[in-house]
Structure 1
């Protein structure tokens, strides 16, 4: 796991997100990238490699006493190696370091079982975000 601290590493994160969210899931680029996609923003990005290939990423934003896990994705050829679980673990570790009470995320409904296996509980009705069905999910950390 690599915590992103350089612009070149952040570009690798963007390349993964572009391939998964924009190309694969058809999320408009104007929606995918936002004001938190900077090194000086109030959030942290991680990058997971598989055999030296940048393959998965996610970010965490700190809001009050909650850590919001966002933009979690794994390139399609690498989805069978547990990299998504490693992204979540890395983001949760950062939340614990910042003494956050809980982690929350907007999970795509197709990924609910994945997040439930990691201790997250659905706390909302289904809603549409970026044209995709989601639910809010929460995990208590402290």
Structure 2
């Protein structure tokens, strides 16, 4: 697995493609809610099944995960975190979150907040996130807010 910070149009397209598969197609989130007006303010990440290149040759590995990070009031907000169905349970989500947390530290912040779907709360808890809210609905899906100090 390889997580990259999005630096070009193809990588952004790959991130959006996996987000669309997971959130829009699998979870029935409306496309207009999935892609929002905060995209341009975010640092995007895409995770590939393998390294995309060997030397200078692009081997075209498929995207299997994505997420975005925004700076908000002195902390990093992790959003739109997703892993393809066939890559779940492989450590891919942990790997993606570790890379996003490293970027938060590089940005000079030591706290990451996120809104987790309630079914994913145990995953984030294992990574050190703590629940900071009551349950609420986002795009019709139950969520809780969580925070981790890095």
Range class of TM-score, shorter chain: over 0.9
State the Cα RMSD in Å.
1.0
Q: 66-75 or 44-53: which moved more? A: 44-53
Structure 1 portions without partners, runs of 5+: none
CA distance in 1, matches of 2:41, 2:138: 22
Counterpart of 1:8?
10
- Residue 89 of structure 2: SS of its match in structure 1? coil
Please name the residue that 1:135 is paired with: 144
Cα offset, 1:112, TM superposition:
0.7
Alignment of 1:66-77 (within 5 A): 66-77=75-86
Match of 1:29 among 28, 31, 37: 31
Q: SS of the counterpart of 1:124?
A: coil
Q: TM-score, normalised by structure 2?
A: 0.89
Runs of 4 or more above 3 Å deviation:
none
Pair 1:94-2:94 in alignment:
no
- Structure 1 Cα separation of the partners of residues 38 and 9 of structure 2: 13
* Partner SS state of residue 26, structure 1: coil
Aligned length: 138
Residue 94 of structure 2, aligned match among 61, 71, 85:
85
User: Cα distance, 1:101 vs. partner?
Assistant: 3.0
The aligned counterpart of 2:22 is 20
Give me the whole-angstrom Cα distance separating, in 2, the residues matched to 1:86 and 1:58: 12
If you compute each CA radius of gyration, which structure gives the higher value, 1 or 2? 2
Q: Deviations over 1:64-106 (max 9, x none)?
A: 2110000000110111211111111111111101111310000
Q: Equivalents in 2 of 1:60, 1:48: separation in Å? A: 14
Residue of structure 1 equivalent to 2:44? 45
Q: Counterparts of 2:42 and 2:103 in 1: how far apart (Å)?
A: 10
